[in-house]
Chains A and B, each alone.
Chain A
Amino acid sequence: MFYREAGQFKDNYAADRAVFPILQDRIGLGVILLAAFLVVPLLGNAFFLNSIMTPFLIMALGAIGLNILVGYTGLLSLGTGAFMGVGAYAAYKLTTSFPQVNVLIWVMCSGFFAAAVGAVFGLPSLRIKGFYLAVATLAAQFFLQWSFVRVGWLYNHDPSGAIQIPARTLFGLPITGPHATPLTQYLVVLSIVVFMTLIASNIVHGRIGRSWMAVRDMDIAAQLMGIRLLPTKLLAFAVSSFFCGVAGALMVFFWLGAAEPVVFDINLSFKILFMVIIGGLGSLIGCFLGAALIHVLPIVIRMLPLGGDAAMVEHLTFLLVGALIIFFLIVEPHGLAQLWRLLKQKLRVWPFPY
């Protein structure tokens, strides 16, 4: 009844090509942003901010990166964890080598390093697809993780083998290191994630996004439209890895504070992939829904009075996530995002059945 486009006439194509053409959607987005920037900081305690919200946003950003590749361009990658690692190590090297430059600049720049590495490992995608490409990205995953362990220069030869994030400030306010509060870190991460989601949304709704989807759906016809496969796929790898790289840097700088190479292992790649599958291939909203489910679910299970030990909780989580993945792969390949869309469709015609 209240959610519909009736009466909202688009008098120009720019309005019709807007990402959220329906007014209620724009209001809804505004409410969510308002809640994220004001209500969550006011009401959330340190645990909620640091253990739920900040990692959720970071994972969602990583999922956006992977979704650009898998969901929009149709190229399967299992190297997400490693590409996130490249961002983290690049940002670490940059801020320890040039501490006078603001850390946020280095966090964003780390994306370029991940993009370059991603594009190199994306080269085989011209010749191979699907399962074989996944294996090639797996090679990237293992090679990069090996570098994080073996190349001492990357972690400044720290005897622990881990990267320790130094204290850095923004306008005099500590944003990394032991004195940064969960609230400031949350707000920094939120701002970056909102900004980058907007950029991703703009890209996928324009010419470049359409080229990616064309390659995904029918690469022969795409070539006929003048789309060159190699540059298009490499751009997808680069942009995707940029997002993953920044997510990786955010992860150590604003959440973990320190990271060993094992943080960026294949488990992280799979975790992000599951978020994309459950959230919905080719949907940005789905990235947030998937990240929320996969990241928050274990925390909720842990808080339930089940009486079991830690191992039991972990197994239960695996079981549930596994069941969800099978459910979505079989029943709803477009994930939570599609369920959300169906719900909106129902709402649009409510109270009539169709």
Chain B
Amino acid sequence: MTAPLTLYGDPSARSSLARGETLLKVSDVSLSFGGVKAITKVSFDIRKGEIRAIIGPNGAGKTSMLNVINGFYHPQQGEISYRGAARARMKPYQAASQGIARTFQNVALFKGMSALDNIMVGRTLKMKRGLFWQMLRKGPAMDEEVAHRRVVEDIIDFLQIEAIRKTPVGKLPYGLQKRVELGRALAMEPELLLLDEPMAGMNLEEKEDMCRYILDLNSQFGVTIALIEHDIGVVMDLSDRVVVLEYGHKIADGVPDEVKADPRVIDAYLGVAH
């Protein structure tokens, strides 16, 4: 048997930041599409080890902000620093290689592949064997495949999806798809995990499970999490700090109790019924 290679077993994959230090800092970022201003001069930070919620009404620019963080959109103004260094314009695959993973508001799984293979794709950056060994699928290539399969099985156990590992994800119910998508992001062993409405469309039980996974990830593995969520109760329970966006502007930022008491937030968000 080879040495057990489990989730987050390799500390060198993460930065040396201590818990509570600033992991990501967004400064005065503005983003517009043609005439539409999606984000206007927003600044906030995410600290190592925290659960940071981003809330706001539909169209507030939350998803756009995640897209800026992982390199899909390039802001017209402003600066982002990550792991203490200012970040140049980057591509999504570069963000991935720096330990940023995410899930999507509308599940973006690989529909034709099994749950297991979807999660295995999350290991891509950690697999090194090239075309030659892949052609043989023996020796080092098989060892590598098995080692990563072991990590993926840990994730499957953690998310309690053993029974569906070989099912094509297109055939799974929505709640399970969201879970597989979390597993796929987790397989990257990210330092910063961005979750875009991970509980949308779920029933109460599924929501509770998802909350538990998020809390466990954060406490067991120290994963830093940025979370977009509409269920305000969930947000207040889970998060360490909350940033509130409205029409692309930041209107509040702080611990849940502060934010809850902020009159602008009450007006803009908490006051209106959804």
A residues contacting B by CB (< 8 A) are 12-14, 16-17, 199, 202-203, 205-208, 210-211, 213-214, 216-218, 220-228, 235, 239, 282
Most buried by B among A16, A221, A224: A224
Q: Contacts A14-B145, A203-B131 given; 16 further ones with Cβ under 8 A?
A: A17-B142, A199-B135, A202-B134, A203-B135, A206-B129, A206-B134, A207-B123, A207-B127, A213-B110, A213-B113, A217-B110, A223-B96, A224-B70, A224-B95, A224-B102, A226-B188
Contact of A207 with B129 in the complex, beta carbons under 8 Å:
yes
Contact B146 A224 (CB under 8 A): no
B82 interface residue per 8 A CB criterion: no
**Docked complex Cα distance between A239 and B117 (Å):** 21
Q: Min CB distance, B100 to chain A, in Å?
A: 9
Tell me if A223 and B124 are in contact (CB < 8 A): no
Contacting pair B134 A14 (CB below 8 A)? no
- Give the chain B neighbours of A282 by CB distance below 8 A: 112
Given contacts A202-B134, A216-B112, A220-B72, contact A225 B121 (CB under 8 A): yes
A216 to B110, CA, bound (A): 8
Say whether A225 contacts B125, CB under 8 Å.
yes
5 A-B residue contacts at CB 8 Å? A17-B146, A216-B110, A221-B110, A226-B96, A226-B97
**Given A14-B142, A210-B117, A218-B108: A224 in contact with B101 (beta carbons within 8 A):** yes
A284 to chain B, nearest CB (A): 14
Q: Given the complex of chains A and B, what is the CA–CA distance between A14 and B153 in angstroms?
A: 13
Which 5 pairs, one residue from A and one from B, show the smallest C-beta to C-beta distance? A226-B125, A202-B137, A226-B96, A217-B110, A221-B108
Q: Are A225 and B184 in contact (CB under 8 A)?
A: yes
Q: Using known A-B contacts A13-B146, A213-B113, A217-B112, determine if residue A222 contacts B121 with beta carbons closer than 8 Å.
A: yes
Are B127 and A218 within 8 A (Cβ)? Answer: no
Residue from the list A207, A225, A227, A228 in contact with B134, Cβ < 8 A: A207
User: Which residue in chain A gives the minimum CB-CB distance to B92?
Assistant: A223
Q: What separation, in Å, do the CA atoms of A228 and B124 have in the docked complex?
A: 11
One digit per residue, 1 when the CB lies within 8 angstroms of any chain A CB and 0 when it does not, for chain B 104-135 equals 10001111110001001111110101010011
Interface centre among B109, B125, B135, B142 (most CB of A within 10 A): B135
- In the complex, the answer to whether A225 meets B122 with C-beta atoms within 8 Å is yes
Contact between B131 and A208 (Cβ–Cβ < 8 Å)? yes
Q: Which residues of chain B from 38 to 94 have any CB-CB distance to chain A below 8 Å in the complex?
A: 70, 72, 91-93
Of all chain A residues, which has the CB nearest B128? Answer: A207
Closest Cβ neighbor of B188 among chain A residues: A225
Known: A203-B131, A206-B145, A210-B120. A217 touches B188 (CB 8 A): no
Cα(A118)–Cα(B123), bound, Å:
28
Given A14-B146, A221-B108, check contact A235 B96 (CB 8 Å): no
Chain B contributes a number of interface residues (CB within 8 A of A) equal to 40
Flag if A213 contacts B112 (CB, 8 Å). yes
Which residues on the B side are within 8 Å of A205 (C-beta)?
Answer: 137
Tell me if B92 and A210 are in contact (CB < 8 A).
no
- Please give the distance in Å from B133's CB to the nearest CB on chain A: 9
Q: Which chain A residues border B113 with CB–CB below 8 Å?
A: 210, 213-214, 217
User: In the complex, which of the residues A199, A218, A222, A228 contacts B111, with contact meaning CB atoms closer than 8 Å?
Assistant: A218
Tell whether B155 is near chain A: CB-to-CB under 8 Å: no
Q: Is B26 on the interface with A (CB-CB < 8 A)?
A: no
State how many angstroms separate the Cβ of A273 from the closest Cβ of chain B: 19
Q: For B250, list chain A residues within 8 Å (CB).
A: none
Q: Could you say which of A207, A239, A282 has the most chain B C-beta atoms within 10 Å of its C-beta?
A: A207
Cβ contact within 8 Å between A207 and B93: no
> Residue B149 at the A interface, CB < 8 A?
yes
**Are B96 and A224 in contact, CB atoms less than 8 angstroms apart?**
yes
Smallest CB separation, B35 vs chain A (Å): 24
Task: Give chain B nearest CB distance to A95 CB in angstroms.
Answer: 25
Contact indicator A208/B134 (Cβ below 8 Å): yes
Give A222 to B117 CA distance when docked, in angstroms.
Answer: 13
Q: State how many angstroms separate the Cβ of B246 from the closest Cβ of chain A.
A: 27
Residues of A within 8 A of B192 (CB): none
Contacts of A227 in B (CB 8 A): 93, 121, 124
The answer to whether B91 and A202 have CB atoms under 8 Å apart is no
Residue of B nearest to A14 (CB): B146
Contact: A203 with B134, CB < 8 Å? Answer: yes
Closest Cβ of chain B: how far from A72's Cβ, in Å? 9
B77: shortest Cβ distance to chain A, in Å? Answer: 24
For residue B249, CB closer than 8 A to chain A, the reply is: no
B136 contacts A by Cβ under 8 Å: yes
Please indicate which of the listed interface residues A213, A235, A239 has the most CB atoms of chain B within 10 Å of its own CB. A213
Contact for A207 among B95, B96, B124, B150, CB less than 8 A: B124
- Separation in Å of the B182 CB from the closest CB of chain A? 13
Is B112 a contact of A223 with CB atoms below 8 Å?
no
Cβ contacts under 8 Å, A220 to chain B:
72, 92, 108
* Whole-angstrom CA separation of A226 from B97 in the bound complex: 6
The residue of chain A having its C-beta at the shortest distance from the C-beta of B184 within the complex is A225
- Measured between C-beta atoms, what is the minimum distance from A13 to chain B in Å? 4
